Amino acid sequence: MNDDLLGRHRAVLPDWLALYYDEPLEITHGEGRHVWDAQGNRYLDFFGGILTTMTAHALPEVTKAVTEQAERIVHSSTLYLNRPMVDLAERIAQLSGIPEARVFFTTSGTEANDTALLLATAYRRSNTILAMRNSYHGRSFSAVGVTGNRGWSPTSLSPLQTLYVHGGVRTRGPFADLDDYDYVAACVDDLKDLLGHSRPPAALIAEPIQGVGGFTSPPDGLYAAFREVLHERGVLWISDEVQTGWGRTGEHFWGWQAHARSGPPDMLTFAKGIGNGMSIGGVVARAEVMNCLDANSISTFGGTQITMAAGLANLTYLLEHDLQGNARRVGGLLIERLRAAAAHVPAVREVRGRGLMIGIELTKPGTDEADPAAASAVLEAARAGGLLIGKGGGHDTSALRVAPPLSLNVAEAEEGAAILEDALRSIQ
């Protein structure tokens, strides 16, 4: 049956629509931190549909909220007052840390970033954007245009002029050998030099931890240092929180808070985990920025009642059960367990991350040369052992991505680490 489905998939869907595994997997149902495939195999899920199943599969509170809302009304568009949308917007505005915040809902992180770029360029009357090397911001024409990862940027055509800045990858690039203080200073000097050679930019868009790039990040405080330089010139800061938001990093609710010396960003974008599988994205911005558009607009599917009901129930569950604290505690145990396992595997260059957002970079032993074949082999071996993980990285997809639902418990973390250790040892 799965072979037939694969043939049908290939016959009707784009060739560039990526599938994991030599024998692609059909997931039929899930519960908690586990999913099952069409053959009845059970897996511990350490990827959550690309960091989207944030709390748990089939979370009863979310399922109940969706069912009850569907029995009333599913959709009406933003042309009508929408109580669930207002309720969720109020909560997100308060949690964002942005003063006088306004919230606009979309259906995805791509659309959220696209909206933020529209707002920034309209507000600043500039189509120049600063972005980070190794970054990823989505699949739309404008989002691809600010993506600094060649594996996910299919065209060099863009409505934007994008200038790429150093700093998103701590352990690679020309400043990698510097200590954190000097690294930040060098990146700031590079930014100042770049600004001296370009027209005034509209904004810097940056992921606090680069998701598709392999869970890489700069030293804490880099974006605060950037913000001080940018603020003097009126340049906006957009924090792309599509993967880092809602407490996944454990230490902070938002990724930007690791760089909080100069206060919150002018805008933040979100998606993925807030819907726990339902299509929710959005932008939070200062009112002055959000309200700068001088034309009418609506959203047909952004903020629709059924997704807002899911988001409200999911956010309530996350806060009431302190899943951020759980990500900090269980994630800390998991990363130390993985570092101990990786110490005996020469192909592991680095285990990095925080909370339940962990990257394992693989290279050819004794070198800094990326080894995407090894990453694929570990992915396959982990699946064979009953564990689903992801992969990414700006250096030929050689990083494993570990991002379980935030309700992961210690026993499941230990089970997953043991499977992943065996998978890593299998490539030696």
- Amino acid 260: pLDDT: 85
pLDDT at 287 over 80: yes
Residue 378 sits in a domain whose CATH number is: 3.90.1150.10
Give the pLDDT confidence of 57-70 residue by residue, as tens digits: 999 999 999 999 99
Q: Are 44 and 93 contained in the same domain? A: no
* Beta bridge mates, 388: 45
How does residue 2 score in pLDDT terms, banded at 50, 70 and 90? low
> In one letter, which amino acid is 390?
G
Number of CB atoms found within 10 A of residue 260's CB: 17
Q: Are 137 and 50 contained in the same domain? A: no
Q: Are 192 and 48 contained in the same domain? A: no
Give the pLDDT confidence of 136-147 residue by residue, as tens digits: 999 999 999 999
Q: Are 106 and 249 contained in the same domain? A: yes
> Of the candidates 274, 305, 320, which is a domain's last residue?
320
Task: Please tell me which residue, 399 or 149, carries the higher pLDDT value.
Answer: 399
Q: Are 39 and 71 contained in the same domain? A: no
Q: Specify the number of domains making up the chain.
A: 2
Give the pLDDT confidence of 116-134 residue by residue, as tens digits: 999 999 999 999 999 999 9
Q: Are 275 and 341 contained in the same domain? A: no
pLDDT at 360 over 70: yes
pLDDT at 189 over 90: yes
pLDDT at 1 over 60: no
Q: Are 340 and 369 contained in the same domain? A: yes
Residue 264 sits in a domain whose CATH number is: 3.40.640.10
> Of the candidates 320, 341, 370, which is a domain's last residue?
320
> Of the candidates 320, 355, 380, which is a domain's last residue?
320
Domain with 269 in it: 64-320
In angstroms, rounded to a whole number, what is the distance separating the alpha carbons of residues 363 and 14? 31
Q: Are 397 and 383 contained in the same domain? A: yes
Q: Are 117 and 232 contained in the same domain? A: yes
Mean pLDDT of 252-280: 95
Q: Are 340 and 313 contained in the same domain? A: no
Give the pLDDT confidence of 377-406 residue by residue, as tens digits: 999 999 999 999 999 997 678 999 999 999
Q: Are 278 and 209 contained in the same domain? A: yes
Q: Are 238 and 109 contained in the same domain? A: yes
